[in-house]
């Protein structure tokens, strides 16, 4: 009994000197990108965290070495992993990153740091630039076409000189000009909105700063200490009993 109590006290002592940490999670969603690419990138970061390579973490996340040293651990998983067939490729699925920090004030810093780390992947950045150029070209084309239509509308509405009411042998219908101009303008606005949301990785739910530590768990430490103490006491008792029997048999 005394050994069990000693184990529980030692467990409490270990709990007292263990640095508290805080858990929080962030949910992100991808553009049309295979999730395994993100997994590979996060795996590399997770290796650096497990190795406590704070210099490399600082460089990749663009944070201070001190802030990198406050990271206890990281895990991540796809939210739709169980919804697809085994031979299918998971693309554009939401995934969750769970982070353990010793400093709960750093969650606000880690959210953009992790997002930028994923977003600035060379392959992702290249694909983003290609899409940006395509959209910007289409937007410029729409603007030019709308300006041309506006010029024709102005001519039809306020003709100067003789006007026969025909363009390329077809009668001019002002309502069609206005309708086409509105349609093109709507398409331009939609493209501009897509251009603003062209990130490869978007945050759905960010980290939440925890006020209370997630660990260590006092009850767990005390129970583990008491259990170890009980096992040690049991082994000692069995050994003493065994020695006693040997003495009695001699």
Distances (CA, A) of 27 to 18, 30, 31, 98, 171: 29, 10, 14, 9, 57
Listed residue (19, 20, 22) closest to 207, CA to CA: 22
Asked if residues 223 and 11 have their Cβ atoms less than 8 Å apart, the reply is yes
- Strand 95-101 versus strand 71-78 pairing type: antiparallel
CA angle, 111 then 113 then 191, to 5°: 80
Asked if residues 119 and 199 have their Cβ atoms less than 8 Å apart, the reply is yes
pLDDT exceeds 50 at position 166:
no
Give the pLDDT band (50/70/90) at residue 158: low
| CATH assignment of 21-121+201-207, among 3.40.50, 2.60.40, 1.25.10, 3.30.70 | 3.30.70
User: Residue 203 is encoded by which pair of tokens?
Assistant: 């945050």
User: Residue 190 is encoded by which pair of tokens?
Assistant: 């939609």
Domain boundaries, the chain: 21-121+201-207, 133-158+170-196
Q: What is the pLDDT of residues 11-23, one digit of tens each?
A: 667 766 778 999 9
Asked if residues 138 and 191 have their Cβ atoms less than 8 Å apart, the reply is yes
Q: Give the DSSP per-residue string, 126-149.
A: HHHHHHHHHHHHHHHHHHHHHHHH
Give the pLDDT band (50/70/90) at residue 169: very low
Asked if residues 166 and 117 have their Cβ atoms less than 8 Å apart, the reply is no
User: Residue 189 is encoded by which pair of tokens?
Assistant: 């606005």
Q: Decide which of 21 and 4 is more confident.
A: 21
Dihedral, CA of residue 28, residue 204, residue 108 and residue 21, to nearest 10: -70
Cα separation, 167 vs 188, in Å, equals 26
The most confident of the ranges 9-13, 39-43, 150-154 is: 39-43
Secondary element (H or E) of residue 55: helix 54-61
The most confident of the ranges 100-104, 131-135, 147-151 is: 100-104
Predicted pLDDT at 11: 66
Q: What are phi and psi of 248, to 5 degrees?
A: -70, -30
Predicted pLDDT at 188: 83
Q: What is the pLDDT of residues 190-213, one digit of tens each?
A: 877 777 766 778 888 999 988 888
Predicted pLDDT at 83: 57
Burial pattern 11-32, b for ≥16 Cβ within 10 A else e, equals: beeebeeeeebbbbebebebbe
- Cis geometry, peptide bond prior to residue 18 (ω within 30 degrees of 0): no
Cα separation, 235 vs 180, in Å, equals 89
């Amino acid at each position: 009994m005394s050994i069990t109590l000693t184990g529980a006290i030692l467990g409490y002592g270990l709990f007292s000197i263990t640095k508290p940490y805080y858990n929080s999670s962030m949910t992100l969603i991808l553009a049309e990108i295979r999730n395994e690419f993100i997994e590979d990138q996060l795996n590399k970061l997770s290796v650096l965290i497990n190795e406590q390579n704070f210099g490399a973490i600082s460089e990749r996340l663009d944070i201070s070495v001190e802030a990198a040293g406050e990271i206890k651990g990281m895990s991540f998983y796809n939210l739709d992993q169980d919804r697809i067939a085994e031979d299918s490729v998971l693309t554009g699925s939401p995934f969750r990153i769970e982070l353990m920090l010793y400093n709960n004030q750093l969650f606000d810093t880690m959210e953009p740091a992790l997002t930028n780390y994923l977003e600035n992947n060379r392959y992702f950045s290249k694909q983003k630039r290609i899409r940006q150029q395509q959209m910007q070209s289409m937007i410029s084309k729409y603007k030019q076409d709308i300006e041309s239509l506006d010029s024709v509308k102005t001519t039809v509405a306020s003709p100067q000189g003789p006007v026969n009411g025909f363009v390329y042998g077809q009668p001019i219908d002002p309502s069609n000009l206005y309708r086409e101009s509105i349609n093109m303008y709507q398409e331009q606005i939609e493209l501009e909105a897509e251009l603003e949301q062209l990130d490869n990785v978007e945050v759905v739910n960010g980290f939440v700063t925890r006020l209370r530590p997630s660990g260590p768990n006092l009850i767990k430490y005390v129970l583990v200490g008491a259990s170890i103490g009980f096992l040690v006491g049991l082994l000692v008792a069995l050994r003493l009993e065994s020695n006693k029997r040997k003495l009695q048999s001699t």
